[in-house]
């Protein structure tokens, strides 16, 4: 087999294909030192907000950072960043740069951002694996991956194909978010992906009982709290990046970055 991967004797061809693909992804991403997914099974808790601001907070430390929008059918990263750049769809994909961070998203491959991307699961999974296999990120210190909600297709494909450093699990103070973040984290752990820690987003500043419970259930540390603040909403509309603009919002993310870097 290409790359010299040893297959278990008598392995089913589908299994062999996944192992081969995993090898190709690994080869394509050899220039990346750390890969972190930002994840929760629950929609709307702020995965994209946290992924973007985390990417820029890391970049502000002088690190070379890439941001992959793995929300294939509802890609939001480019809108949050006010990016209108398109990518040539022929491999390898070259992610454009915004304020020093390389960004790749399916939104850069469609002609009209408002058009819905209506794909069944297998096509969505294929797109994620194509991004992982065929994007030319060059040398990066960190690749941050903005995950979609749910516990199927994209999260599953990402966990299968990618050796992540781990997930940052995003939750909000409410119990329902805590329970869903537990679900996401437990799924990841079951598939062998490490949980780096939990971020409470839209926070009062002090973690709720539900957040503490979720972190404890996952055996993960609380990386920090991101305050509930309208400037995050304003930023997502205007394309301005909150951590680059406001020092108090940056300091919420600095705390998270400090914990990730230790």
Total interface residues for ligand ATP by CB under 6 A? 19
44 touching ligand ATP, by CB under 6 A: yes
Among 29, 36, 45, 124, binds ligand ATP (CB under 6 A): 45
Please state the closest distance from residue 208 (CB atom) to Mg ion, in A: 21
Using the CB atoms, write b or e for 168-181: b if 16+ within 10 Å: bbbbbbeeebbbbb
| Cβ proximity to ligand ATP, 43 vs 192, nearer residue | 43
Interface with Mg ion in residues 10-49 (CB under 5 A): 47-48
Q: Which residue has the tokens 């297709």?
A: 153
| Dihedrals phi, psi of 111, to nearest 5 degrees | -75, -25
Part in contact with ligand ATP (CB under 6 A); list of ranges 1-9, 42-50, 97-105, 106-114: 42-50
Q: Is 8 exposed, middle or buried (0-12, 13-18, 19+ CB in 10 A)?
A: exposed
Part in contact with ligand ATP (CB under 6 A); list of ranges 90-98, 111-119, 129-137, 230-238: 230-238
Q: Do 113 and 79 meet the contact criterion of CB atoms below 8 Å apart?
A: yes
Cα–Cα distance for residue pair 75/84, rounded to 1 Å: 13
| Cβ proximity to ligand ATP, 48 vs 78, nearer residue | 48
253 touching ligand ATP, by CB under 6 A: no
211 touching ligand ATP, by CB under 6 A: no
**120-159 footprint of ligand ATP as x/- string (CB under 6 A):** ----------------------------xx----------
Question: Of Mg ion, ligand ATP, none, which one sits near residue 229, judging by CB under 5 to 8 A according to partner kind?
Answer: ligand ATP
Cα–Cα distance for residue pair 60/171, rounded to 1 Å: 24
**Any idea what DSSP says for residue 91?**
S
Strands (E), the chain: 32-39, 65-69, 97-98, 101-104, 140-146, 166-171, 195-203, 222-227
The residues binding Mg ion (CB under 5 A) are 47-48
The residues binding ligand ATP (CB under 6 A) are 43-49, 71, 76, 148-149, 201-202, 226, 228-229, 232-233, 236
């Amino acid at each position: 087999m290409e790359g010299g991967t040893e297959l278990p004797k008598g392995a089913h061809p589908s299994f062999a294909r996944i192992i081969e693909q995993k090898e190709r992804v690994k080869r394509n991403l050899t220039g990346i030192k750390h890969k972190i997914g930002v994840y929760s099974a629950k929609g709307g808790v702020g995965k994209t907000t946290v992924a973007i601001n985390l990417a820029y907070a890391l970049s502000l430390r002088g690190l070379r950072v890439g941001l992959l929008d793995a929300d294939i059918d509802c890609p939001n990263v480019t809108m949050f960043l006010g990016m209108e750049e398109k990518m040539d769809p022929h491999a390898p994909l070259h992610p454009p740069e915004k304020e020093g961070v390389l960004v790749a998203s399916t939104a850069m491959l469609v002609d009209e951002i408002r058009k819905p991307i209506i794909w069944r699961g297998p096509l969505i999974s294929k797109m994620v694996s194509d991004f992982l296999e065929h994007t030319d990120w060059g040398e990066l210190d960190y690749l941050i991956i903005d995950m979609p909600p749910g516990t199927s297709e994209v999260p599953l494909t990402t966990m299968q194909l990618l050796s992540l450093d781990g997930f940052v699990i995003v939750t909000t103070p409410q119990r329902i978010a805590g329970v869903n973040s537990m679900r996401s984290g437990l799924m990841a752990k079951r598939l062998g992906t490490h949980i780096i820690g939990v971020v409470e987003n839209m926070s009062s500043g002090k973690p709720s009982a539900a957040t503490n419970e979720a972190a404890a259930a996952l055996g993960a540390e609380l990386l920090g709290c991101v305050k509930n603040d309208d400037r995050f909403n304003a930023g997502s509309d205007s394309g301005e990046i909150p951590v680059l603009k406001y020092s108090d919002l940056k300091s919420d993310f600095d705390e998270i970055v400090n914990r990730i870097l230790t």
